[in-house]
Structure 1
Amino acid sequence: MESSKLILSLFILQALFISLPSTQAAPSNLFREYIGAEFNNVKFSDVPINPNVDFHFILSFAIDYTTSSSASPTDGNFNVFWDSDNLGPSQVSSIKSKHPNVKVALSLGGDSVGNGYAYFNPSSVDSWVQNAVSSLTGIIKEYNLDGIDIDYEHFSADPDTFAECIGQLLTTLKGNGIISFASIAPFDDDQVQSHYTALWKSYGHLIDYVNFQFYAYDQGTSVSQFLNYFNTQRSNYNGGKVLASFTSDGSGGLSPNDGFFTACIRLKSRGELYGIFVWSADDSKANGFRYEKQSQAMLASH
């Protein structure tokens, strides 16, 4: 009799478990590429675009600093720091009209500005959010952009302040219909992770993609190391679409020549390949975008 009750209890628990909604994201055919930070005359039209993927260009960067040679913080008043001569509003409209599967976003922050680091440096949550909403709304409308990426890498504020500033910014831009998607671009550094995990904890529901910089790990990363890193970051950003990534200059992480696509095949077989992003089109121009073609072909295949 006791064994029958145990079996029944196990069946009930199993049924409850199966019926619970999954907290993990579904795989996708999303391909994303940063563009414009290095001013080497790369154009949207240079980059091969597979019609069978969702393609996001990410303009790099908009920074809340002055554009003078001695750049200084502006408390949320953003300026365009990408190659706007080649990647201007008319070029955005052109590439989107020629390729219906293309969307274009801008990325905030980046590593450096002028001769120093680009710091997240608000004077207060309210002032920064007010200035950021106003300045970014103007840029996004002028360029007819679709989304925003958060890539601050240096901080003059604590994690909770960062979380509130960015969280309120995303809440307002999405609520006003200014953007349709948002992403973050952390990497494995204690200070960086503390800021982004605080943001994820409070506002993860507003973040559509995690552009985790796996190329910030050591050069020569192995396939097994990459997969372990991926599992760790899926746990850190639980329920998020953590994208696989490489840098096309070969400076770090698991390179396409050393097994990146092998790792992606394994992720895909597990239903965990949520997309691929590349840093950056500026560097890929030199090799004819061979790895962009290979990445998109993999994502487009069934």
Structure 2
Amino acid sequence: MAPSNSFISSLAMILIVPLAFGAPSASPKQLFREYIGAEFKDVRFSDVPINPAVDFHFLLSFAIDYDTSGSPAPTNGKFNVFWDSDNLNPSQVSSIKSRNSNTKVGLSLGGDSVSSGYVYFNPDSVDSWVENAVSSLTSIIKEYNLDGIDIDYEHFEADPETFAECIGRLITTLKNNGVISFASIAPFDDDQVQSHYLALWKKYRQIIDYVNFQFYAYDQGTTVDQFLGYFNEQSEKYSGGKVLVSFISDGSGGLSPADGFFTACTRLKSQGKLHGIFIWSADDSKAEGFKYEEQSQEMLALPH
């Protein structure tokens, strides 16, 4: 006798439901990030190898709230483009994102210097700076079809609390307005720098997605054990944050790939502490053919 329809339906549920609920979920991709455009070495997004097995972020360097005259001066939150916009323009952003579904592009604010002078965080007031910054950055982000911002101010005329409130309110507004989907900060181990970023972290950590800690600002010749100690120290300071490890392409500071950077990364990965890698910068890596970009992404793509 042929089985009844109700029997067939019941059997189908027995066979299908466990498979649906028991199917393994894909592991999230690990993050690789690269600063690009600050040194005007004719590097393009398409020059940089992109591994489809990682999440990839380009960070355009830099947008600065200075005017673009021959002698740049602070503009109280009115940001302008200071990266190599000839090679890294809106059409190039759209092109690299359309060809690589795992790729996002953000911009970094501030940086160390412009026209041989330091870039200072120097607002007239919190309210006026935030208003100007939201307006000017929204315009740039929409023009370039960008996804997020990174905060890389390194010199300060304002106190830590003013910095925290300005940057915190800026990120909050841009996220609430749907202008950006991620935000990161880029501190390094300097008393003044840390006082400003830790004030921001204390009050606004919930809106900061990544900490691009500049481990290459430590002394050249840093050992693997020293690097791991620095990582643990900064992870405690930025407690609860995704602290990314980093190196500098020209080997001028910190732990270099040639001296054990990937050994340190392997140890962190085995401990579940490797949240991602970033490199400063694509401009310098171009001369070496981006070999460490490839190696970094290959390591990140390996299973835990």
**Superposed pair shares fold, TM > 0.5:** yes
Partner of 1:200: helix, strand, or coil? helix
Q: Determine whether 1:233 maps to 2:230.
A: no
- Relative CO higher for 1 or 2, CA cutoff 8 Å, sep ≥ 6? 1
Aligned to 1:42: 43
Aligned to 2:90: 89
Deviation at 1:27, TM superposition (A): 8.7
Aligned to 1:220: 221
State the AA in 1 paired with 2:68: T
Task: Check whether the contact 1:28–1:274 (CA below 8 A) recurs between aligned residues.
Answer: no
Question: Looking at CA atoms only, which structure, 1 or 2, has the larger radius of gyration?
Answer: 2
State the AA in 1 paired with 2:97: K
State the AA in 2 paired with 1:36: G
Cα 1:28–1:231, aligned 2, differ >3 Å: closer, same or farther?
farther
Q: What is the alpha-carbon distance in structure 2 between the residues aligned to residue 28 and residue 133 of structure 1?
A: 31
State the AA in 1 paired with 2:141: I
Aligned to 1:279: 280
Aligned to 1:165: 166
Aligned to 1:296: 297
Partner of 1:195: helix, strand, or coil? helix
Aligned to 1:10: none
State the AA in 1 paired with 2:134: V
Q: How does 1:5-20 map to 2 (within 5 A)?
A: none
State the AA in 1 paired with 2:271: R
Deviation at 1:114, TM superposition (A): 1.6
Aligned to 2:7: none
Unpaired runs of at least 5, structure 1: 1-25
State the AA in 2 paired with 1:130: E
Q: What is the alpha-carbon distance in structure 2 between the residues aligned to residue 281 and residue 171 of structure 1?
A: 29
Identity %: 79
Aligned to 2:30: 29
Q: What is the alpha-carbon distance in structure 2 between the residues aligned to residue 177 and residue 27 of structure 1?
A: 23
Aligned to 1:184: 185
C-alpha distance after superposition, 1:79-138 (max 9, x if no partner): 000000000000000000000000000000000012210000000000000000000000
State the AA in 2 paired with 1:34: Y
Task: Check whether the contact 2:29–2:301 (CA below 8 A) recurs between aligned residues.
Answer: no
Q: What is the alpha-carbon distance in structure 2 between the residues aligned to residue 245 and residue 116 of structure 1?
A: 25
Q: What is the alpha-carbon distance in structure 2 between the residues aligned to residue 115 and residue 59 of structure 1?
A: 19
Aligned to 2:69: 68
Task: Check whether the contact 2:77–2:132 (CA below 8 A) recurs between aligned residues.
Answer: yes
Q: What is the alpha-carbon distance in structure 1 between the residues aligned to residue 148 and residue 81 of structure 2?
A: 15
Task: Check whether the contact 2:63–2:83 (CA below 8 A) recurs between aligned residues.
Answer: yes
Aligned to 2:103: 102
Aligned to 1:57: 58
Deviation at 1:28, TM superposition (A): 5.5
Partner of 1:284: helix, strand, or coil? helix
Partner of 1:243: helix, strand, or coil? strand
Aligned to 2:127: 126
Aligned to 2:251: 250
Aligned to 2:144: 143
Unpaired runs of at least 5, structure 2: 1-26
Q: What is the alpha-carbon distance in structure 2 between the residues aligned to residue 196 and residue 111 of structure 1?
A: 15
Q: What is the alpha-carbon distance in structure 2 between the residues aligned to residue 67 and residue 266 of structure 1?
A: 45
Q: What is the alpha-carbon distance in structure 1 between the residues aligned to residue 75 and residue 174 of structure 2?
A: 20
Partner of 1:162: helix, strand, or coil? helix
How many residue pairs get matched? 277
C-alpha distance after superposition, 1:208-247 (max 9, x if no partner): 0000000000000000000000000000100000001000
Task: Check whether the contact 1:108–1:151 (CA below 8 A) recurs between aligned residues.
Answer: yes
Aligned to 2:21: none
Q: What is the alpha-carbon distance in structure 2 between the residues aligned to residue 154 and residue 114 of structure 1?
A: 15
Q: What is the alpha-carbon distance in structure 2 between the residues aligned to residue 193 and residue 36 of structure 1?
A: 26
Task: Check whether the contact 2:108–2:151 (CA below 8 A) recurs between aligned residues.
Answer: yes
State the AA in 1 paired with 2:214: Q
Q: What is the alpha-carbon distance in structure 2 between the residues aligned to residue 246 and residue 223 of structure 1?
A: 12
State the AA in 2 paired with 1:292: E
Partner of 1:298: helix, strand, or coil? helix
Output the TM-score relative to the length of structure 2.
0.90
Q: What is the alpha-carbon distance in structure 1 between the residues aligned to residue 166 and residue 29 of structure 2?
A: 29
Q: What is the alpha-carbon distance in structure 1 between the residues aligned to residue 140 and residue 115 of structure 2?
A: 21
Q: What is the alpha-carbon distance in structure 2 between the residues aligned to residue 152 and residue 93 of structure 1?
A: 27
Deviation at 1:68, TM superposition (A): 1.0
Runs of 4+ in structure 1 deviating by more than 3 angstroms, as ranges, are none
Q: What is the alpha-carbon distance in structure 1 between the residues aligned to residue 70 and residue 157 of structure 2?
A: 21
